[in-house]
Every structure is written in C-alpha cells, then in structure tokens.
Amino acid sequence: MFDNNNIYKPIKARLTDVITESPLIKTFVLAPEHEFSFETGQFIELSVDGIGEAPFTPSSSPLITDMLEVTVMKTGYVTEYMHNLKSDVNMGIRGPYGRGYPVEVFEGKEILILGGGCGLAPIRSLLYKLESMKDKLEKVTLCYGSKTPEDCIYKPLFKRLNNIEKFEAFRTVDKPDEGWTESVGVVTTLLNRVRININKSIAIVCGPPVMMKFGTIRLLEMGFTDNQIYLSMEKNMSCGLGKCGHCMMGEFFVCKDGPVFTYGEIKHNPEIWK
Amino acid sequence: MRYYITTKSEWDKKLDQLLLSHTIFATVSNDLGLDFEFLRPADIDNIKYNCPRPVTSLKTFFLPPRENVTADRDSDSPRIIIGAPNCDIEGLSLLDEIYLDRDFKDMFFNWRRKNTIIVATDCFSYRDNCHCVSYGIKPFTTRIADMSVSQLNGTMIFRCITDKGEAFIKTVINAQLLEDKNFVESVENNNTEVEKTLTEKNKGLPDYARSGKLLESAGKNIWKKYSSDCVSCGSCTTICPTCSCFLLIDKPGFEKVKQMDTCQYPGFERVAGGEDALYELSERFRNRYMCKYVWKPKKYRSTACTGCGRCIDSCLGKINKNELIMELVK
C-alpha cells in the first residue's frame, strides 16, 4: 500500500466525511487515492498535513478497499487538529502495518470481546470481519464499557449486532444518566452474564491500559489460558516500520511484532501495562 | 584472506586523484582528538592509520542527524570512508539488520551503503575505555567493511574483505598482491598484541550474554544509584555506533523529516493520552542498558554494544557503564 521505494512517504486520502460519535470521539471517512486493503487489527499512520502523524487502527470493514474509516478520540496534539478538520481536505496514509487478529485461528470458536472507550474502534472492524465469516464461528459476544451513555460510541451497532444470528452485545457505563436501562459498572462486571464454553473460546481485549490489565486478570480468573487472550497494545508507534524505537515493549516492536499479541507472548515483560 | 601492498606515496597520490571523483572522509587529528574529516588534498598526508576509534562513530555517515525522507534520494558522488575501527564496523552490522530488513528497507540508508567504500583500519593501540574484546569483537576488521588498511612505515597493506573492496584495491589503487609473509605477520602480530593487552585490561568484565543476564535481574536500586548523575543529555546514545532511534517530523506538503532521537530524552515513549512508560529518569536510564544487552540480542544477530567506550568518555555525569556492570558482578 505504501510507496515500495520510499517507506516514509504517505499516499494521499481525501477526507470525505466527519461523523461525531461522542463529545470527544469522531469518525473520519477517507477515500485513499489508490485501493487500500488491510487485515483487521492492523493499523495505519494517518497524517494531518504539516502537523503530525499518529497511528490508528481502522474501524471500517477490512472487506472494503476504496474507503477507510478511523475513529479518533481527541486526546493529543494531532488528534485535536483532526477534530477541527472539515471534509474535503487531503490527509496522508502509510501502512497498513503490523500483525492484526489471526481470524483463521478463531474458526470453530466462541469469541468473547471486551472493549472499552475508543477501543471499540478496532473491534468494530473485527466485528465486520467476524460477521462475514459467521458460518465458521460458534458465537460472538461483545462486552463494552464506557464512562457515560454519552461516551458510548457506535450506538446503532449494538442493536444491529443483537439482530445477527450467533452475535450478542452488552453495554455498561460507569455513570448512568436517567434514561440508561443497561448495566452499570466497569466492563468486567458484564462477564458475570456471559455464558461461554471456555475450552472452545478465545477472548479479545481492546481499550485503555487499565481496562486491558484488569480485563486480562478477570479472564484468567474465569479460566482462559494465556494464549486464548488476544490483546491489542497501544504504544507510541511512530514509524510503523520497526525502526524508530518509540514503541519498543521489551524485545518487541509493537508496530511490527504487534499490535495484536496473545497475553502468553508478552506476559513475561513487565513493560506491558505501563 | 588476501593482502595487497603499495607504498604510502603511491596511496597518497591515488587519494589525490580519487578526490576528483569521490567524496572522501578520513581519520585525522583535530582539536577534539582523532575524528573523521572531509578530506582535502592538503590533509592526505595527515590521515592517521591504525589509531583507536575516532570521536564520532561511523553511523553518522549512514544515519545523518536530520534528513528529509520524502525528498528524492541524494545523488552524491561515490564516497570513501577511511579509518573506521572494528567496533564501528560491527555497529554497522546491527544498523544493516534494522534499516535493510526484509520487510521495510530504508532507501536512503541503502543508497549510502551501496554508494560507499568502507576502508577499515586495524587498531594498533587502544583508548582507556576500549573493551571490544569483552564482547567477542576483535580490534581489527575481517567482515562487513570492504577492506582494511594498515600502515607499516612507508608501506600500506590492504586486507581484502568484500569483492567490491578487492576490485577497488586491484583496479583503482593498483596495489600488488602481497606474497611476503613477513609483512602480513607484522600486521597480524600487532593485532594479536593489542587483542591480548585489551583482554588483560578488561579482565573480569563479563561477556555480552552474561552482562545481559546480570542487567535483566538487576533491582531498582542500581538504576536509581547510577542514574542520579544522569542529566538526560543523550550524549551516550548520540555517540553510540549502534543507537539508531529516530523521530519523524511532519512538514507542510506531507513531507517528513527524520531526526535522530534517543530514549534518554523525556517523552520518548509518551502516548497522546499522556501515559509514559519511561517517565522516571531511572526507567529511561535502564531502558538503554536493557535495549542493548537484553532486548536487541533477542531480536538481532549483531551485538548492540560493541565495546567502543564512547558513552563512557562522553557522559556529562561521568557515569561508567562498566562500573555498573562490575557492581552487579560482585
């Protein structure tokens, strides 16, 4: 997808739409100048001209190659600029980079997904992929937590998922408002409601570092083994090429060896929850 | 390994001619000591051969401090670099693994590698903090560089290493195949002597693998103790022949400038949300040791510390890496 001769040069992508998902989160719809394909869980480096570049895992379906969506929380220098962008400007894309979800390994399994906050973005892309291969899967359960109902992104997604055969989705918030009828509490509380055959399952965790840590601990308590848990790690992936060193996590470059790892692959490393 | 020979005056004449078509950098003495300098005709006679490592490491010629990596590749005239010690040559081996890896080849690094003839030199002496031999690295070069040069009085002896080097020696320098074993023995004896002395001098310093094991199991106290004199200036990593981390800076027009960076600077691993795994000074300090002795060895074949000792010489806080390792041995 990137310039084969120059690994640092981005391709252009037209920003065609900006969708507000929550007060802090927007989805950017991009039309790349060339066909652009990625595997779910891989990430791209997205640049705002002259401002900076940041890594994002696309939230759109990996089956679509002429359009790309990234869902971005306003949290730093580049993302703040992004949130002020209006459609019809050019952005830069490098990638896709890294190792995504090994979906072929998921065949014949029950899949439990634990997501928090903006961590639902890569999960949405994964859900599109899982939906396309649902005949080969036993079951897909999504447990998602956000701070408030207002912070909950992709609201129509949950209704849709609950109407798909073999799929179910639960939501929880830390602080409910008056109209909230679903669960209250951290995302791990939803696991008490999940009926799953652990021996035939795999679990996927994606969210803020603290949620990933306690989510993993809870899954281990439930009986998941280290290699049944897939984590999507978040580090400062700057070059995406396994060279610049900013995303080193022990001996791993998260950008190249990850961002998706099994807990078993990285648990020896005390750096993972930092 | 084949050796070739020519006279010093012939070699100097050739260098003078080569300056018309090549950019040459060579080790000469300046105010800072011995360093690589852009060679001018008047300096040819001042090139120092067989001296231990120059102030700057060889990496600077392949990874400049700052470059626009979205611009067209530079089309410099071919380069010759003369006088690189083996610690730098071995350091280049790790840079090759990182920058020329199968998946993502850095075209700028690749171009400079291809466009450069590297003439290493055997160290006939050493500096106070030289400890290459502790990590299995010899004070003379037999791989990666194109050739090696040694001066014995008025004679220059060349050791062929690559085909490119041999072709250069034969056709450009017109040196003669060396069949007089006495000359070869003189060079090899010098090498063996330096190796022996360096081994004796660094007796007790653990080898590369053992250093890694000691550092991996080191407690927090040692990092706090030794980092207390660290000012995060980054001189250790800047001057290191193997440290190669960088930052990509965006410029208008989707241009990207690649600037050398270091894990010793605050904020190196900070993510947009503010989390920073290397927020504490002692964590950043530890990161460099772990990267060199524990993490890189798990990932690459080459050593990430070649024992040049530059980080010890350059440290503003006078922190001696080897003293830290020796304290762990006790």
Is there a single domain that holds both residue A119 and residue A209?
Answer: yes
- Same domain? For A116 and A89 the reply is no
* Number of independent structural domains in chain A: 2
Tell me: do A116 and A190 sit in the same domain: yes
Q: What is the DSSP letter of B293?
A: I
Contacts of B113 (CB under 8 A, 6+ apart): B62, B96, B100
Are A87 and A135 in the same domain? Answer: no
Q: Is A245 in Cβ contact with B261 (below 8 Å)?
A: yes
pLDDT, residue B182, reads 85
Is A238 part of a structural domain of the chain? no
Contact A247 B294 (CB under 8 A): no
Q: Are residues A118 and A195 in the same domain?
A: yes
Are residues A65 and A128 part of one domain?
no
Using CB atoms and an 8 Å cut-off, which of residues 231-250 of chain A contact chain B? 234-236, 238-239, 241-250
Nearest to A75 among B263, B273, B291 (CB): B273
> B188: pLDDT confidence band, cut at 50, 70 and 90?
confident
Between B1 and B99, where is the model more confident? Answer: B99
Predicted pLDDT at A4: 57
Q: Is A36 helix (H, G, I), strand (E, B) or coil?
A: coil
Q: A239 and B98 in contact by Cβ < 8 A?
A: no
Q: Tell me the shortest Cα–Cα distance from B25 to chain A, in angstroms.
A: 27
Which chain A residue lies closest to B296 (C-alpha atoms)? A251
Chosen domain end from A55, A76, A97: A97
Here the tokens at position B35 are 């360093």
The reply to whether residue B248 touches residue A238, judged by beta carbons under 8 angstroms, is: yes
Distance CA B238, CA B90 (A): 17
In terms of domains, do A46 and A113 share one?
Answer: no
SS3 labels along A84-100: CCCCCCEEEEEEEECEC
CA A89 to chain centre: 25
**Residue B73 clears pLDDT 90, i.e. is over it:** no
A46-81: burial string, b at 16+ Cβ within 10 Å, e else: bbbbebbbbbbbbbbbbeeeebbbbbbbbbbebbeb
Q: Does A220 reside within a domain?
A: yes
CB of A7 within 8 A of CB of B110?
no
Nearest CA in chain B to A90: B254
Q: What's the sign of the alpha-carbon dihedral A213, A219, A222, A226?
A: negative
Q: Which of B269, B283, B284 to mutate to test the interface with A (most CBs of A within 10 A)?
A: B269
Q: Which of A40, A65, A97 is the last residue of a domain?
A: A97
Asked if A69 and A121 sit in the same domain, the reply is no
The whole-angstrom distance between B33's CA and the closest CA on chain A is 31
Cβ pair B246:A7 closer than 8 A = no
Alpha carbon distances (Å) from B143 to A20, B36, B115, B243, B318:
58, 21, 18, 20, 33
Domain coverage including residue A146: 103-232
CATH of the domain at A64: 2.40.30.10
Report yes or no on A246 lying in a domain: no
**Are B132 and B91 spatial neighbours (Cβ–Cβ below 8 Å)?**
no
- Are B250 and A243 within 8 A, CB to CB? no
Please indicate, yes or no, if residue A207 is contained in any of the structural domains: yes
A142 pairs with which residues across the strands?
A113, A169
The neighbour count for residue B259, using CB atoms within 10 Å, is 12
Which residues of B sit within 8 Å Cβ distance of A? 69-70, 98-99, 101, 103-107, 244-248, 250-254, 256, 258, 261, 263, 268-273, 275, 277, 290-291, 294-296, 298-299
Dihedral, CA of residue B115, residue B121, residue B122 and residue B126, to nearest 10: -110
Ramachandran class of B254: left when φ > 0, alpha when ψ lies in -120 to 50, beta otherwise: left
Task: Give yes or no: residues A37 and A148 share one domain.
Answer: no
Predicted confidence (pLDDT) per residue in A152-176, tens digit: 999 899 999 999 999 999 999 999 9
Are both A150 and A36 inside the same structural domain?
A: no
Q: Which of A39, A68, A97 is the last residue of a domain?
A: A97
pLDDT tens track for B189-246: 888 899 999 999 999 999 999 999 999 999 999 999 999 999 999 999 999 999 999 9
The residues near A43 (Cβ < 8 Å, ≥ 6 apart) are A55, A56, A57, A58, A95, A96, A97, A98, A237, A240, A255, A259
Answer whether residue A198 is part of any domain: yes
Q: What is the pLDDT of residues B11-47, one digit of tens each?
A: 999 999 999 999 999 999 988 889 999 999 999 999 9
Tell me if B250 and A274 make a contact (CB, 8 A cut-off): no
In terms of domains, do A56 and A168 share one? no
Query: Are A138 and A84 within one domain?
Result: no
SS3 A150: helix
| Whether A243 and B244 lie within 8 Å, measured CB to CB | yes
Residue at A260 is within a domain: no
Asked if A50 lies within 8 A of B258 by C-beta distance, the reply is no
What is the spatial order of strands in the sheet that A139-146 belongs to?
A183-184, A167-173, A139-146, A110-116, A201-206, A229-232, A260-262
Chain B touched by A5 (CB under 8 Å) = yes
Query: CA nearest B74: which of B40, B101, B107?
Result: B107
- Across the range B126-134, mean pLDDT stands at 96
- If pLDDT is split at 50, 70 and 90, which confidence band does B1 have? confident
Nearest-10 crossing angle of helices B208-216, B321-329: 80
Range with the lowest mean pLDDT among A235-249, A260-274, B128-142, B304-318? Answer: A260-274
Q: Which has the closest alpha carbon to A36: A69, A6, A71?
A: A69
Task: Write the residue in A10, A75, A239 that is nearest to B272 by C-beta.
Answer: A75
- Average pLDDT, integer, range A115-142: 96
| Res. A1 pLDDT band, cuts 50 70 90 | very low
Is residue A15 within 8 Å of A91, Cβ to Cβ? yes
Within a domain: residue A226?
yes
Looking at chain A, which residue has its C-alpha nearest residue B276? A274
Cβ neighbours of residue B76 closer than 8 Å, sequence gap 6 or more: B23, B115
Q: Is the pLDDT of residue A185 over 90?
A: yes
- Picking from B235, B248, B197, B210, the residue whose alpha carbon sits closest to that of residue B318 is B235
State CA A46 to chain mean position distance.
15
CA distance B155 to chain A (A): 42
The verdict on a CB contact (< 8 Å) between B273 and A77 is no
In a domain? residue A122 = yes
CATH number for position A194: 3.40.50.80
Give the pLDDT band of residue B74 (cuts 50, 70, 90).
low
User: What's the gap in Å between the CA of B94 and the closest CA on chain A?
Assistant: 12
Confidence of residue B187 (pLDDT cuts 50, 70, 90): confident
pLDDT at residue A3 above 70? no
Name the 3-class secondary structure at B225: helix
